Amino acid sequence: MVKIKAKKGVFNPFNTCCVLALVFSMLACTSDPPPKRKISSAKPSFKLVKTPIADPDSVFEFVRKQVDFGPRVPNSTAHKLCGDWLVKKLKSYDFEVIEQRGTQIAHDQKKLFYRNVIGRFGLEKEKRILLTAHWDTRPWADQDVERSDEPIDGANDAGSGVAVILEVARLLKTQMPAIGLDVVLFDIEDYGQSNESFCYGSQIWSKDTRLKGPQPKYGINLDMVGDANAVFMYEGYSQDYARPVLDRVWNIAKNMGYGRYFTSIQDGMITDDHYYVNQAGIPCINIIHREPSTGSFVHTWHTHNDNLDNISPTTLKVVTEVILQTIYREK
């Protein structure tokens, strides 16, 4: 405290000014604490990487070509011709192709000749990922009210996933990715009547993958990805075995503006080829169309309506673009 001494009973303006000046001087010398620095909570912006451009007409044509062979039921002529075509296409895109052939006794005791088609691109690359789909079709239209004992076209249920993989394979040479890609087209997936009798091809493959050298870091299975109103949910086994992959792919789709197709709604566990890929030690997710409101498969499933009329080039392009963005983001 500053004491001001003045003559008693006499007002001294000079002394008063001195006091005020000293007080103001002390206040001016008092330092305020520095303002707190604001910490930004904004997340880093998501930037898309450059990828080859998927052609919706090309992907759709890959579906059409498969359907044109006829139902690809094991032991049929259409099955043999389509298998030959798949091998030829992958080789034309610089894939090393390995065929896994044999016989399988089905649930009805029928002897089925199977043909898993394995393709490998960029074998010199240590880091790899895996794309899978089945290529055979259902021998019966068991969900239909008419001709239920006849085979189906399988445009969506088989044709669509294979078409996306072929479009990706076609584009790889136009812009080389930093990683290698393995693909497996599984046979006799759709011959079953119970969970254990489905997915024969992937069950056989899981015990002998034929993938020598570096193994894929993770896998993505594609099943029924061609409907105009396709919705892909968080499938149960995908969550249990490969949740980081599931989150990554769905986040990519969301940032590409495709959240209407790829939703984080929780789905049940579906016994599909990806289950057996996981059993082989490769974390694998399933992109598969299920109806969120009913939990059922797409309305054309195992019916004669699973034809080209119900395939959307737009949906095929969306799925292909998400897969391409996933591949080209890997370093």
pLDDT in tens, 119-162: 999 999 999 999 999 999 999 999 999 999 999 999 999 999 99
pLDDT digits (tens, 9 = 90+) for 220-254: 999 999 999 999 999 999 999 999 999 999 999 99
Q: Is it the case that residue 36 has pLDDT exceeding 80?
A: no
pLDDT digit string, tens, across residues 288-319: 999 999 999 999 999 999 999 999 999 999 99
Question: For position 328, what pLDDT does the model report?
Answer: 98
CA–CA distance from 287 to each of 47, 78, 129, 228, 237 (Å)?
Answer: 23, 26, 15, 15, 11
Question: All domains of the chain, ordered by start, with CATH?
Answer: 56-329 (3.40.630.10)
Neighbours of 326 (CB within 10 A): 20
Closest CA to 170 of 265, 276, 55: 55
Secondary structure class of 42 (helix, strand, coil) = coil
Distances (CA, A) of 303 to 65, 89, 126, 222: 20, 28, 42, 19
Nearest to 308 by CA among 157, 151, 142: 157
The whole-model pTM stands at: 0.87
Lowest mean pLDDT: which of 21-30, 159-168, 172-181, 184-193?
21-30
Per-residue confidence (pLDDT) for residue 20, from 0 to 100: 42
Q: What is the pLDDT of residue 28?
A: 44
> Residue 13 above 70 pLDDT?
no
Give the pLDDT confidence score for residue 227 in this predicted structure: 98
Over residues 109-121, the pLDDT tens digits come to 999 999 999 999 9
